[in-house]
Structure 1
């Protein structure tokens, strides 16, 4: 069960941090917006630039006198106080990822120029890490449910299994479980701004963190100095479009890998065509002929869904040569290389016995209404995925949206709708790889159109999820925008991708 979570990239059995906070309290420990006391971070007490803190916010911002939760915060001071511009808030991109750990353990999160001019601030968003984490019963995790329920009976069992698991999460976590939406996170962020005594903040968010950035720009336009959104989420896509667009994005990255392999003499899959070679390997997986072995877990069958899901993770950082080596091993039934790339980032803490840290579904389903009304919907969506990804087929990158909200009974607090930025909002810079396997470039185009004339789109004509540290050109333009957002930037521009062999 834990292995299945790890294999699908969730890493849900790991909670980062030194202490495990309790569930939401009945009353706030301090009024929302009160100043926060900062102290040396336990993980880096010798670093004078780092300070950690906590502050209390309402679980439900519409009920400020109701239950409250403690947010974990971190701040890295600007390296050159004489040139300090203000606060740059980092919006963590991975659902369930720790913003605190991103700042604590990565002093090169931004360039030296940007780090010298901004205090970098982040939080573990509600329901994650050290901020009232979503905890669930490990024994109830629906690991045995098929990814594609093919009959009415299988679908009913899948819904019931997901509902039972979700109910354990809600009961163990408390009221935060039903208040994980991005608009609530944006209100938390503004409370942090007020606690810091800052009139405005700048914001940098990537991937799912761009949705928090969009919400903040709508809710608090005059408190936002400027923003950069990297690898953008379009909050208008319905379930069919989500499956189609993300399946096509993974397939596009696979075709990039296959084209590279076909013209690279050292790539062993090129003989006879890389795509045909992979089709044969995928067929072996579908027939149950591959066995995955991971330390600490019994062997299990590596099916086509799990194979392509793990392969897709190599595309996030364009690890094409590493993927080629790994596929050779997988073809020989040595599959360990598929499961060795999960980034933990920080010191793991023991969870309460029998629990998992699993905030992904609660967060995703609070921001997305993704109805699946029966097995006919499942089979239709499967055809949508396969039509857009003839080689890679189903992957969790796209298909997770079909299953993540099954059995979820809570309200979708922030359902999909177009972004609308008013005249008081600052100019926002969007960046996106042309060939992003997770957040398709067309999503960035749509968000730019929704936010125009307040949005500018910078496209990286290369591969991967995120481009700030891949492209010197992107990094220079992002840094310039953060430092001087009033400088004119063309509505649409691009940076070149790498020179290919």
Structure 2
């Protein structure tokens, strides 16, 4: 039997990581004025790996109330392999809300180059509200899965806002006060508590994607405690709702055009007559007509609409999985759509049955005021996205920033958008960004670099993808050199695109 599930509900499951985190413990009361040294123990996921250890650092839930409830921030440390040349800790903040820095460090001894691993203790962190650090937990049944991403009538819009508000209330009740204290500046204060617990006077920092926003906050709050910082794939905290939708829709479209041009040049790619772009347009139209279905193992069968198709396609652009996408679209053309959902399993950990881990609304909407002034304004934003993405159309990369905050319209935003303000005490900072990033547009990195001037320097990777250190050896070499010696690349420097896959 085919079950009617909206793409919003499916995307929510895919983005949140349904098995990503344990159930939260209740916040503790009281916290010491200075964090205690970390009690390092073997990591449960790698008990026989002597080079990595895990621990926790206790921090206030609300940094404005340091004597109030507390939570434990989970961290992992992979010690420098050459202690005699050790520089200090390198804190790694991993990607989007919901992803685990602890997992990244525990599971991958080569997360950074051998040279960097030799000289730094690599510290991975599960940010507050994520994975092992009091995760945001909501009832799965409370998610507004039957609400369309773009309501088609004023009445449907009113119902959607009410449904999202109810979901926010459910997550807040299931998570506790951590839910309302997940802004980047609170996370940055947690990082400084980790630094103090490590016993180091200064730290070096590597943040990618959402981690760049946390890095910006740390550089503003604690400039003298920051030795070096790398911001990879940059979030511009001056971006309002209209520019967010426009820029991200255009970035997904730009990545699609790169893929389509590549596919058109390769006989093995095999797009039908008319080229890849027209082929995809036909697939998207079929999805919108309800002609494509998805059947997942141990899951329901549901329609693959255009929003879900475009969103799943866009995920292939992060690591330029072009060949895989070409094969998958051939299967989708034959209504074998399961390939779109392969390889998206969540990270380690368990949550209770009937619950989901969904930190996006708590984290993103604490740092972004994303007002939607009624049904007409929502339709305006949709048109803005479609005007900038004629092939990829509407995807979660552009639109989830709108829907995630629908249920918090009118709420206070703890850390709303504003320009970055670095003082003269901040260190030099290296920014990197792909020219063709599907998630963090290059123009955002340009804006952040301008705001960080004269302390910031932008290194552009002239290719496609998200997370440049792991794509380009040229970028990695520049980053490693900077972390070791604080030497920045020349102004206007760039790295060439790696060969096509």
> Could you state the TM-score of these two structures normalised by the residue count of structure 2?
0.96
Give the 3 Å change call, closer, same or farther, for CA 2–356 of structure 1 in structure 2: farther
The SS at the match of 1:10 is helix
The SS at the match of 1:74 is strand
Summarize deviations over 1:411-466 as a string: whole Å, max 9, x none.
21110000111100000000001000000001000000010110111100101011
Give the 3 Å change call, closer, same or farther, for CA 154–3 of structure 1 in structure 2: closer
1:224 maps to: 226
Kindly state the Cα deviation for residue 472 of structure 1 after the two structures are TM-superposed.
1.1
Contact 2:11 2:396 (C-alpha < 8 Å) held by counterparts: no
2:420 maps to: 419
Alignment size in residue pairs: 495
The alignment status of 1:436 with 2:441, answered yes or no, reads no
1:10 maps to: 15
Summarize deviations over 1:393-418 as a string: whole Å, max 9, x none.
00000010111011226421110000
The alignment status of 1:386 with 2:386, answered yes or no, reads yes
Q: Identify the match of residue 26 of structure 1 among 15, 24, 29.
A: 29
In 1, the alpha carbon distance for the partners of 2:259 and 2:278 equals: 13
Summarize deviations over 1:26-67 as a string: whole Å, max 9, x none.
333x54422221111122121111111112111111111111
Contact 1:433 1:464 (C-alpha < 8 Å) held by counterparts: yes
1:489 maps to: 489
Structure 1 gap ranges (5+): none
The SS at the match of 1:468 is helix
2:467 maps to: 466
2:58 maps to: 56
Summarize deviations over 1:87-125 as a string: whole Å, max 9, x none.
000011121111111111111110111011000112111
Kindly state the Cα deviation for residue 345 of structure 1 after the two structures are TM-superposed.
3.6
The SS at the match of 1:15 is coil
Contact 2:10 2:145 (C-alpha < 8 Å) held by counterparts: no
Aligned-residue Cα RMSD (Å) equals 1.6
In 2, the alpha carbon distance for the partners of 1:209 and 1:328 equals: 35
Kindly state the Cα deviation for residue 471 of structure 1 after the two structures are TM-superposed.
1.0
Contact 2:204 2:229 (C-alpha < 8 Å) held by counterparts: yes
1:125 maps to: 127
The SS at the match of 1:136 is strand
In 2, the alpha carbon distance for the partners of 1:51 and 1:321 equals: 38
Give the 3 Å change call, closer, same or farther, for CA 290–221 of structure 1 in structure 2: same
In 2, the alpha carbon distance for the partners of 1:54 and 1:274 equals: 50
The alignment status of 1:266 with 2:271, answered yes or no, reads no
What is the correspondence of 1:210-249 to structure 2 with a 5 Å cutoff?
210-249=212-251
Kindly state the Cα deviation for residue 343 of structure 1 after the two structures are TM-superposed.
4.3
In 2, the alpha carbon distance for the partners of 1:72 and 1:320 equals: 35
Structure 2 gap ranges (5+): none
Q: Identify the match of residue 69 of structure 1 among 71, 91, 98.
A: 71
> Could you state the TM-score of these two structures normalised by the residue count of structure 1?
0.96
Query: Which deviates more from structure 2 when the two are superposed, residues 127-136 or residues 200-209?
Result: 127-136
